[in-house]
């Protein structure tokens, strides 16, 4: 309470492993400041934001720079953790946020269309988005009184664990360059 998420995360990571270096950056990603927000020499990036412009900036950079990267889709309105999957952005379904990312990468960054692989891995749920509960009745001004779709911790946690696991697996299995003789 009363602390930025990145600072709370840094403290929690220090409790787990005090030798881990955490660069806590309290900034929103924008096309104009990405990738300058990153410390030099990162091994991988996990995108877990819900802003399509930020997702597009990070994804376009990752595709161009060929950086190990995974993007998380929207968990709001999902309840079934066992429906979470990882696949290429071209194969994602049931996720309006990732659909927008796919559209923007194709329109503005020349990502392949016609079902061809884009080369960007995403965590998403194949579960249909559940409509808001009846308790989220639409107010007279057209807004929802409970601020949109809720999320279930078992689903959001699964998204995060899948993204982290995918990155760790890629780091562990990547081929190291052979030494030159």
Q: Distance between CA 52 and CA 72 in Å, rounded?
A: 11
- Same domain for 40 and 18: no
Q: Convert the pLDDT of each residue in 169-181 to its tens digit.
A: 999 998 765 554 4
- CA 146 to the chain's CA centroid: 24
Taking 50 as the pLDDT cut, the residues of the chain under it are: 144-145, 180-181
- 178 within domain boundaries: no
Q: Distance between CA 6 and CA 44 in Å, rounded?
A: 17
Question: The domain containing residue 20 runs over which residues?
Answer: 1-26
Q: Distance between CA 60 and CA 58 in Å, rounded?
A: 6
- 169 within domain boundaries: yes
**96: closest CA among 149, 159, 34?**
149
Q: Distance between CA 86 and CA 91 in Å, rounded?
A: 9
* Domain tally, the chain: 2
- Same domain for 49 and 5: no
Q: Distance between CA 158 and CA 83 in Å, rounded?
A: 10
- 179 within domain boundaries: no
Q: Is 171 helix (H, G, I), strand (E, B) or coil?
A: helix
pTM: 0.84
- Position 174 scores a pLDDT of 87
- Same domain for 64 and 18: no
Give, as one character, the DSSP assignment of residue 90: G
């Amino acid at each position: 309470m009363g602390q930025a998420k990145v600072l709370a995360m840094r403290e929690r990571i220090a409790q787990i492993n005090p030798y881990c270096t955490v660069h806590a950056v309290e900034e929103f990603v924008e096309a104009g400041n990405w990738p300058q927000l990153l410390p030099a020499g990162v091994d991988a990036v996990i995108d877990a934001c819900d802003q399509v412009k930020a997702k597009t900036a990070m994804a376009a950079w990752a595709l161009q720079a060929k950086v190990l990267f995974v993007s998380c889709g929207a968990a709001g309105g999902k309840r079934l953790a066992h429906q979470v999957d990882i696949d290429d952005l071209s194969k994602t379904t049931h996720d309006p946020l990732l659909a927008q990312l796919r559209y923007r990468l194709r329109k503005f960054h020349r990502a392949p269309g016609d079902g061809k692989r884009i080369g960007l891995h995403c965590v998403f749920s194949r579960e249909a988005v559940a409509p808001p509960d009846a308790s989220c009745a639409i107010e007279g001004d057209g807004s929802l009184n409970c601020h949109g779709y809720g999320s279930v911790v078992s689903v959001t946690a699964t998204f995060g664990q899948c993204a982290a696991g995918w990155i760790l697996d890629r780091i562990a299995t990547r081929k190291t360059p052979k030494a030159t003789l």
